[in-house]
Amino acid sequence: MKRRKAYTPYLFLLPALAFMGVFLFYPIVDVFRLSFTDYNMITEANFTGLENYRNLFNDPLFWKTLKNSFIYLIGVVPILVVAPIFLAILVNHKLAGIKWFRAAYYIPVVTSMVVVGIMWKWLYQGNGILNYILQTLGIINNQINWLTDPQIALFSVMAVTVWKGLGYYMVIYLSGLQSIPQELYEVSDIDGASWWQKQIHVTIPLLKPSIMLVSILSSIAAMKVFTEVYVMTNGGPLNSSKTLVYYIYEKAFENLNLGYAAAMGFVLFIVIFILSFFNIKLMDQSSR
Amino acid sequence: MSKSFKKITKTILIYLLLFTIAIIMIGPFLWLLSTALKSGGENIFQYPPKLIPESPTLINFLKVREAITIEKFFLNSTFVALVIIVINVIVSALAAYPLARMEFTFKNIIFYGILGTMMVPFQILMISIYIFSVRTGMTDSYQGLILPVAVNAFGIFLLRQAFLTIPVDIEEAAVIDGCNSFQIWWRILLPLIKPSIATLSIFTFMMSWSRFMWPLIVISNPDYYTLPVGISYLSGLFSSNWRLIASGSLISIIPIIIIFLFLQRYFIKGAMAGAVKG
């Protein structure tokens, strides 16, 4: 329909493809290649075949950090899928000042994770305000060592991830809620449905696409956790809060064991690939 | 009467719940602020803790400047964010146009190739990008902070969606008027997708302002620290001086919170687009 030179579309795409070629496509291939070498930035890389993967398999810390990442996923995702639904229902009420509450719940989302981590490290102090509040409310008897008890540290960090993420997923649900026709609730009112019945029979089924989306997004995010661990615990005590991405960081940039880190990266990639495969499918549906 | 009574009770309960959650979400910031405002004479570790400072002071905010070059970190963060926005918007808008509006060989392969990169986390690629940065001398430089994270599939996808919503007739009229493809893109289509460009810009700003892992890796010279790296450095340097750490942390988040309060609409749209629903 148009008189246009055949190369025009490629000219428009060129800058993007150049950027992505250097910083996305090439690194994908390169990391895969690195995972079969012993590259350490100092000496020349030697091809070592599957040795990194074999070592990985026998590395207890790899398994521990992988396990920690999965505990993270299992602990964080259900809360981040369910709690924001209720938050969204709550802030969807048409009340005076509701916009301010929405904004307040979203502030942790716009705050950098570094500051959030530092802030919670301060709240988590032994003599800190969190222990004081929980003791005053009678929820705990003795001070809890939130970040220094190996049994607890990982869960304390998870709580921060949840706290920061609530507002983000709330907003996703909110737009889902606002697309539910009001008549459906009116009909259930006539039928004499209770609040809970309305949520279970109307809200939840109609929010299903958003629920799917939040499950996938929060799972992928949980597998990539790094900053909160770096800022609050450095993976300690006794590696109890070390996640897979943190271990990759340590191996690659502290020990300069880049080949080994690349092999771990490949394992992470497979996990995330499976999770995001569903994400892309979902996106494709919504863009049609 | 009982009905209106029930309604009032319900409203009160909702407000009570709203306030309780607001305290959970905002309370930590208030505690940080309280710590930052406490003077040197006040024991910040006292138990039970005190929320209201005895003699509030701003001295800690000034002391941050003696400890670290926070204004430098601030400028670095701002500069890096602005350049990334410009690159991301221009490059994404260029690429999004043919993907939305033209038919050409390999279109689907290119589109899904770009989309597919969303499945590969940066945490993996950075191993290779770091080696590349060392070899090309990009470590400890603005290029190193900017170029590897400037362009991503998300921006292209978002703007492609925006172009798709513009009626084809507008473009056809421009072709009849003798505009070439670049002119159509620049003069006709870009002005029509301004809201999406604003959304992408703000989303990009937020991402850049809080980005931590890549700057941590690529920068070791404090002259190039961005705020998150600088604040993390501050907290390592003065691990028990919480007045200073709290003040520095607050300084670093005040700009983004102010921008958020004024441009909430775009933040929410960005979040939605980030989830690819809108």
Q: What is the CATH number of the domain that holds B88?
A: 1.10.3720.10
Contact present, A145 and A126 (Cβ < 8 Å): yes
Q: Which of A259, A156, A153, A172 is nearest to A214 (CA)?
A: A172
Q: Which residues of A touch B48 (CB under 8 A)?
A: 132, 136
* CB count in 10 Å sphere of residue A187: 13
DSSP helix/strand/coil, B58:
coil
Both B197 and B240 in a single domain? yes
Which of B9, B119, B183, B189 would best serve as a mutation to test chain A binding (most A beta carbons within 10 A)? B119
CA B41 to chain centre: 37
Q: Which residues of A touch B260 (CB under 8 A)?
A: 103, 106-107, 110
Q: Is position A28 within any domain?
A: no
Contact present, B123 and A26 (Cβ < 8 Å): no
Give one DSSP letter per residue of B101-159, joined into a string: H---TTHHHHHHHHHHGGGS-HHHHHHHHHHHHHHTT-TTSHHHHHHHHH--HHHHHHH
State the average pLDDT over residues B134-148: 96
Tokens, residue A24:
């996305």
Tokens, residue A52:
């990194």
Both B163 and B66 in a single domain? yes
Tokens, residue A157:
């960090």
Q: Which of A232, A93, A240 is nearest to A154 (CA)?
A: A240
CB pairs under 8 A between A and B: 275
Cα–Cα dist B114/A131, whole Å:
48
CB contact under 8 A, B148 and A226: no
CB contact residues (below 8 A), chain B span 221-240, against chain A: 227-229, 231-232, 235
Both B38 and B90 in a single domain? no
User: What's the total number of domains in chain B?
Assistant: 2
Ranges of residues in chain A whose predicted pLDDT is under 50: 1-2
Q: CA B264, B267, B273 angle in degrees (round to 5)?
A: 145
Whether B154 shows a pLDDT value over 50: the answer reads yes
Amino acid at A285: Q
CB contact under 8 A, B181 and A4: yes
Tokens, residue B137:
């001398």
Report DSSP state, residue A45: P
CB contact under 8 A, B129 and A230: no
CB contact under 8 A, B210 and A248: no
Cα–Cα dist B155/B161, whole Å:
10
The whole-angstrom distance between A151's CA and the closest CA on chain B is 23
Q: Is position A174 within any domain?
A: yes
Q: Is A248 left (phi over 0), alpha (psi -120 to 50) or beta?
A: alpha
Considering only CB atoms, B123 lies closest to which of A214, A217, A248, namely: A248
Q: Which residues of B touch A230 (CB under 8 A)?
A: 212, 216, 232
pLDDT of residue B278: 32
Q: Which residues of B touch A253 (CB under 8 A)?
A: 130, 217
Tokens, residue A124:
């988590």
Q: Which residues of A touch B87 (CB under 8 A)?
A: 19
Last residue of a domain, one of B20, B40, B57: B57
Distances (CA, A) of A49 to A37, A39, A53, A56, A259: 7, 12, 9, 13, 11
Tokens, residue A170:
């709330």
Contact present, B11 and B17 (Cβ < 8 Å): no
- Find tokens 């907290």 and name the residue: B235
Q: Which of A64, A30, A63, A37 is nearest to A51 (CA)?
A: A37
Alpha helices in A92-136 (DSSP H): 98-110, 113-123, 129-136
Both B44 and B85 in a single domain? no
Cα–Cα dist A36/B243, whole Å:
48
Q: Is position A229 within any domain?
A: yes
Residue of B nearest to A274 (CA): B119
Structural domain of residue A219, as residue ranges? Answer: 60-287
Q: Check if B110 contacts A (Cβ < 8 Å).
A: yes
Contact present, B252 and B69 (Cβ < 8 Å): no
Both B29 and B114 in a single domain? no
CB contact under 8 A, A110 and B267: yes
Both B223 and B270 in a single domain? yes
pLDDT of residue B46: 83
Cα–Cα dist B6/B223, whole Å:
62
Q: Is position A9 within any domain?
A: no
The whole-angstrom distance between B262's CA and the closest CA on chain A is 10
Which of B16, B25, B104 would best serve as a mutation to test chain A binding (most A beta carbons within 10 A)? B25
Considering only CB atoms, A217 lies closest to which of B131, B231, B275, namely: B275
Tokens, residue A250:
């340590």
Q: CA A202, A163, B44 angle in degrees (round to 5)?
A: 150
Q: Which of B119, B265, B276 is nearest to A172 (CA)?
A: B276
State the average pLDDT over residues B164-175: 86
CB contact under 8 A, B104 and A286: no
* Residue B195, preceding peptide bond in cis (omega within 30° of 0): no
Q: Check if B131 contacts A (Cβ < 8 Å).
A: yes
Give one DSSP letter per residue of B226-253, joined into a string: -HHHHHHHHHHHTTT-HHHHHHHHHHHH
Both B46 and B66 in a single domain? no
Cα–Cα dist A248/A268, whole Å:
10
* Residues in contact with B266: Cβ distance below 8 Å, sequence separation at least 6, in sequence order: B198, B199, B202, B203
Structural domain of residue B161, as residue ranges? Answer: 62-274
CB contact residues (below 8 A), chain B span 20-59, against chain A: 21-22, 24-26, 28-29, 31-32, 35, 45-49
Residue of A nearest to B273 (CA): A172
pTM: predicted TM-score of the whole model, two decimal places: 0.91
Considering only CB atoms, A107 lies closest to which of B26, B123, B129, namely: B26
Both B17 and B127 in a single domain? no
Both B177 and B69 in a single domain? yes
> Can you tell me the ipTM of this complex?
0.91
Cα–Cα dist B72/B270, whole Å:
28
pLDDT of residue A280: 66
Q: What is the CATH number of the domain that holds A155?
A: 1.10.3720.10
Both B37 and B125 in a single domain? no
Contact present, B142 and B208 (Cβ < 8 Å): no
User: What's the total number of domains in chain A?
Assistant: 1
Contact present, B220 and B139 (Cβ < 8 Å): yes
Contact present, B156 and B96 (Cβ < 8 Å): yes
CB contact under 8 A, B175 and A2: yes
Both B51 and B179 in a single domain? no
Both B91 and B216 in a single domain? yes
Q: Which residues of B touch A91 (CB under 8 A)?
A: 18
Last residue of a domain, one of B57, B81, B102: B57
